[in-house]
Structure 1
Amino acid sequence: MRQPVAYRRFPSAAAAIRFAVEELSQAGLAAAILEVNEDRFDHVGIRQLYEDKKYPLRRRTKRAD
């Protein structure tokens, strides 16, 4: 059984978003919360940020879940 993902710090919000969308399972993403300064984003907000045209990092090609 996998261990739950604990609190992690990233060098940027974009890196945290990439990790959440590209590395976590669907269940992991559903449970994820991104906090940037005073703003908090749930899985819906994280996905919206990742899919935004202004997202600064290169996206991974679609993965098969």
Structure 2
Amino acid sequence: MRSDRNGKLPDKHDWQARAAEALDKARKMKPGAERTEALKKAGQLQVAADMRGYLSSRELRPPE
């Protein structure tokens, strides 16, 4: 894979935006099983966004 100018790998998903969009959509739904599942999915997307941020952080890079 090729990295961009910042040295980060390209990511075709904006995980933070996807998580925020899913949460906003879920909050607008009427209470029920479908909303509960949508909130759960939004939470999973937020965890994915957090993991992506952690895995691409400087703390995990080897010393130069």
TM-score by structure 2 length? 0.31
TM-score (normalised: structure 1): 0.31
Query: Which has the larger strand fraction?
Result: 1
The structure where helix makes up a greater share of residues is: 2
* Bigger-Rg structure (1/2): 2
